[in-house]
Structure 1
Amino acid sequence: MKVRDLPISYVAILLDVAENFGASKSELLNLAGMDEATLENPEARCPEETFRVLLNSAIQKTGKHSLTLHFGQQLTLTSHGVFGYAVMSCRNIQQVIDILTKYYRLLLNNVSLIVKTEDDRISIEFHPARTRPEDCRHDTELFFAGLLSSIKHLLHIERVDAEVELEYPAPDYREDYQTILDCPVHFDQKISRIGFPIALMDEKPEYANPAMLKLYEQQCEELLSRMQSSEGLRVKVREYLVSAKQQFPSLEQAASHFYMSPRTFRRRLSDENVSFQKILDEVRRELAETYLRNPAISVNHTADLLGFHDVSNFRRAFIRWSDGISPSEFKKQHAHH
């Protein structure tokens, strides 16, 4: 299984949702270079890039910009494969959250989840790491709609007592958020997260089955380790750079960290259509944006934290990364957060 593959059931559900909004199933399959036969095979997987093409084409063909929310709402527990079965076997919602944070990478790439408990609330922060804001929005919509829908299915309830905060401005279909998520939704927040009352954690799904859970967890574990060993060098380099923070290594240092000569290291990355510099820029840009959103961290301090000895070099680099926006403009735009 390749790292960026999704269950084929996602494709089937997405096509049904798009068809309900007037798109042609066969036309969409055609655009994604897939055929009906693939959908019949429960073992089949869909490369994530193909799924993106499908999703964007479906939005275009239906003219329904909230399609991802509708799609997330329609996802069933069984559509998540072995991960979904693990969730269904949990003894309470707390265990569901534990399974989610342990194995979410089987379903969601390019994101990180952080669970926090404060007083009588538990919240899950959702941090997407895509470059295009609309991809980040789609990932966020999908996650929150899918999570709420799963909890409703598990507990057989109509509504979940939850509250959602989103770090982007309200899109023009904000009513669909209210209808589909069916809980308070706040836009333009510091981070995207969903909060639940701690009491919800004790609620018990009716299918709870500890023996089966053990079995499904083993399968999740196996899939995850297969996935990580097939992950490209790019992902490993990215993780290495993120953990390096201020002291970013040179290409030579990075190559030796991965036991390769600089030449092999360059070639291996180029096989994955990326360069060391490009990954370094991505990581620096993401960290820069995180620091600049923090009112307590100045532009100069941000430059420092990213290992730029000269703030004007940082300014030039940031303008290059962010299509002409300077660090201080970015800070101003996000100051109200």
Structure 2
Amino acid sequence: MRSIGEMARDSGLGVSALRFYDRAGVLVPARVDPVSGYRWYAPEQLDEARLLARLRRAGMPLADIRLVLAGWSGADTDLVRGLLQAHLHRLELGLADARSEFSTLRAALDHRENPMTASPSTAAFRLSVPASALAAALDAVRFAVGADPELPMLGGVLFDVEGDALHLVATDRYRMAVARADAAGPGGPGAQVLVPAPLADAMRALLSGDEPVGFAVDGDRVTLEAGDRQAAGQCLAHDFPDYRRLVHLPSGRRALIDVPAFRKALETGPVRASMAQEGEGREESGASHDLSVLRVVDDGTVTVCEDGDDDPSNVAVNRRFLLAALAAGGRDRLVLEFGAPTAPLAIRRTDDETTFSLLMPVRLDD
């Protein structure tokens, strides 16, 4: 007999998904402990669970999944083939409709006079920024830079200049980080430039001490000068998403955490498995990642929930992303801000509201 955790690990279905399919009567465990309610599965149910996981990934409706499983176990191949073909046909029709809608959207984008944000600036300008401030800002956002080759506009750090403020921003769709550094420069309405990640890393390597460094843009070329050393290259010729529209979240429950203790709780605490998010890179496509399920309890502390805790107020996040955000926070105490279970989790500093990161939650039944 397999425990529900072993079945989740071997089948590709999450524990919460297995519970759901039990309640739906699709994959009922062979035995349920009458005292603890713990589920146990027979060895032959593993093949059914793996089949169910494949059908689920293909987006088949639950009613059809139930019939496929019944036909599969009864060797009714005609029924199974008919259901698979019907679902494939629906997917093809849906894809055709989606292509039509996307063609319309692309045409609308082509006719827009102004993109979401300004294109990389072609006007020359120069800023002076304390090396330590720029280093801290880069350290706070670098972890959130995207690596998906199909989304090159997310493969860098946005330098957003407005007056005497320089905001650095990075996102891979599933996480976003924003940091601010004081700068002396042209002032005025500001400018934006998207610095590719390798160049941003080369710039970071030059930043030591607290002496001002020069950050200059001339057309599509960007340069950082630190004393007699410099890092220079072309900026990315893409429009970065309008991050200001994404960071104004309704206030939620705030919890002050001790970062070293909370990190240990995450690293040693229970996790749940989920399929990899698309933004994690092609090399990890289809691999599972660990989720930490969090809850703010009545005394204001944050706990890492045990497996089986399905309180609807719980928030599940990619544990690796959360650990990286805690490290990027650069403080022994940080504030976690929870909204609805489907809203981003914010990681904020207690002494600097302008530097923060956001993590998208993950549905536990995904």
Bigger proportion of residues as helix: 1
Same fold by TM-score greater than 0.5: no
State TM-score, norm by structure 2.
0.24
